[in-house]
Chain A
Amino acid sequence: MTRRGSPRLEGYAILAAIGLVAALALRRPELAVAAAPFALVLAIGLQLAREPGLDVRFTVAGERTVEGADVEAEIVVRTESSVDRLELLLDLPKGVEVEGEDAVAVRLRTGEERTIPVQLRCSRWGVYEVGMIEVRARDLFRLVVWETRLRRVHELKAYPHSETLTRVLDAAETQAFTGSAVARVKGDGIEYADIRDYVPGDRLRSINWRASARRTGLVVNERHPDRNTDVVLFVDSFADLRDGNRSTLDDAVRASATLATRYLERRDRVGLVSFGGILRWLRPGLGPSQRFRLIETLLETGVAPTYIWRDVDLIPARILPPKALVIALTPLVDPRYVTTLQNLRARGFDLVVVEIDPVGLVEAGRNELERLAYRLWLLDREVLRSRLERLGVGIARWGDGVALESALEEVRTYRRYARVARV
């Protein structure tokens, strides 16, 4: 610990020295009497001041939390010698807050151990290192201050909170494994598809006896099998438009986490590509462990500025399986990302764009020229959207005041009628 004198120490030393010298100079003992208490406080205080042997521990109740939720933590402090005032300041990274005060002062007797409960809250998703503690101890006379900065770091992962979403988009084509999506092909399943004439080898329980009674021969029911789908979440990390309350990247990560959770609940395979300055990917997989893998990969998402042109060729083929539904989450502001979307569509991927609407984050401008540029930008975005829609790409505009569910419902309607688009 670093020991330093408090302002009181210097002040009292000055007062005592000047008082005593003045007493000598003016030959007035009253001045010595006035200076004596300061000298006495210095003498006794410095004699009694002992460095406190502190043992500080910091524990967090869990390693994972959801943004906005409280996490219990505690600081346990023990001292070898008494401390009149021990100040503990929890120095937290941006995005983590303490419910209440982040600095506390306690008084400890010799050998006493004290537990100070702290309630942490992550205001934004991410991976945080918490546990930097600034310690300041003062003696009884407050003449000496011991200070140190302790590193008792714990990693805390704040998962993005889920958006309300009860129904997800179905992929145009299903995969071979069993799942919850009704396949377009006919086979063994639950959903009724059609009837056809009986052929040897058909199971007896598929015979539709009512229909057979009205016809000359036996008729069997055909059904749609339940299959899973492959979904790839394609997150745009080229740019992040933000103001004090909202960020397009934050929203994209929240939407991705929500979509991943819902698709995995349906036994679909979900993969992830974070496409931007740094390219990250996760192979499609299923199950609860895949959800954790996905979200933890999403937590590492950030904007790394780059001028390098990125192309879809950079993404390994196994990350984008055939017949996969690719859901792009983007503010549609970076031309490299838009070109990549067009490339993906040209390669035959079933593509949906969830546009994280950045319009509310951009000011219209103060003068006429700026306002004109703003209007042009809006028009340019409209053109971009219609160009993507002409390619058969459904676009869900998700932003202020629009629920993710309603945005996806628009795409569902669009895909119902625009599926015949050919590239």
Chain B
Amino acid sequence: MRTDEDALVEVGFRVAALALLALVGALVLGWPSLVPASLLLLGGLYGARLALDDPALDGASPFFAAGLLVTAELGYWSLEERETVKAEPGESFRRAAFVALLALGALLVGSLLLALTDGVRAGGLAVDLLGAIAAGAVLLVVVVARRGRRDDTRAS
């Protein structure tokens, strides 16, 4: 007999397949905007699982974060390699090492954040505040980046 859980698993598989399809589409068609779409689908799936299961604190989230970052980096790298520019020997190894370093950094930062969150979990407001500050910081970064680009364009 088919249960609700089975149905959810099936939906999860479909969303994952859609994410994979978006990533493959991005790489085959050369559309970089499909890379974050694919990752958002995976993130959404993860968020839905968290919302439904409601675990105390998922210890695998740093690994998930590192995985997402590596997928994004490899996806964009692959898109950059579509342009036939002869690179210096050893550049691929250097780039691969850099991606591995990023993954390691993501794992480390994720673990630190998770530990921090666990520490302050007693107060829900602290988590909200942390999230709000982080979201605000990201928006600030985007605004600063856009302003910098405008200034450079004007100067050139």
Contacts and interface: CB of A to CB of B under 8 A. Distances in A.
A38 B69 contact: yes
B106 A37 contact: yes
Give the interface SS of chain B, mostly helix, strand, loop or mixed: helix
Interface string A28-44: 11111111111111110
Contact of A101 (B35, B36, B77, B86): B86
A21 B138 CA distance: 11
A273 B152 CA distance: 54
Interface in B33-55: 33, 35-36, 39-40, 43-44, 46-47, 50-51
B138 A20 contact: yes
Given A11-B35, A32-B131, A34-B68, A4 B149 contact: yes
Interface of B: 32-33, 35-36, 39-40, 43-44, 46-47, 50-51, 57-58, 61-62, 64-66, 68-69, 72, 76-77, 79-80, 83-88, 91, 94, 98, 102, 105-106, 109-110, 113-114, 117, 121, 124, 127-128, 130-132, 134-135, 137-139, 141-142, 144-146, 148-149, 152-153, 156
A403 to B, nearest CB: 40
Contacts of B39: 11, 15
B86 A104 contact: yes
A275 B135 CA distance: 74
Given A24-B132, A51-B152, A89-B85, A12 B58 contact: no
Contacts of A140: 98
A100 B58 CA distance: 53
Contacts of B124: 27
Interface in A1-35: 1-24, 26-35
Contacts of A21: 135
A32 B113 contact: yes
A13 B141 contact: yes
A129 to B, nearest CB: 23
A105 interface: yes
B88 A20 contact: no
Given A2-B156, A46-B148, 7 more contacts: A12-B72, A20-B131, A24-B135, A27-B124, A32-B113, A104-B85, A107-B94
A8 B76 contact: yes
A43 B84 contact: no
Contact of A17 (B46, B57, B121, B135): B135
Interface in A137-160: 140, 142, 148
Interface of A: 1-24, 26-43, 46, 51, 85, 87, 89, 100-101, 103-107, 140, 142, 148
Q: By DSSP majority rule, is chain A's interface helix, strand, loop, or mixed?
A: helix
Given A11-B72, A15-B72, A37-B69, A31 B88 contact: no
Contacts of B137: 39, 43
Contacts of B152: 1-3, 51
A39 B134 contact: yes
Contacts of A107: 88, 91, 94
B31 to A, nearest CB: 9
Contacts of A6: 76
B120 to A, nearest CB: 9
B127 A43 contact: no
Contacts of A106: 88
B79 A7 contact: yes
A20 B135 contact: yes
B57 A29 contact: yes
A142 B46 contact: no
A29 B72 contact: no
21 contacts: A2-B152, A7-B35, A8-B32, A11-B36, A14-B40, A17-B138, A26-B47, A28-B47, A29-B127, A30-B50, A30-B61, A31-B43, A31-B50, A33-B110, A34-B43, A35-B138, A36-B109, A39-B138, A89-B85, A101-B85, A103-B85
Contact of B65 (A22, A33, A46, A103): A33
Contacts of A18: 40, 43
Nearest to A44: B105
A12 to B, nearest CB: 7
Contact of A32 (B72, B134, B148): B134
Contacts of B83: 87, 103
A92 to B, nearest CB: 15
A13 B138 contact: yes
A11 B138 contact: no
A142 to B, nearest CB: 7
B64 A34 contact: yes
A11 B76 CA distance: 10
Contacts of B72: 8, 11-12, 15, 38
B51 A26 contact: yes
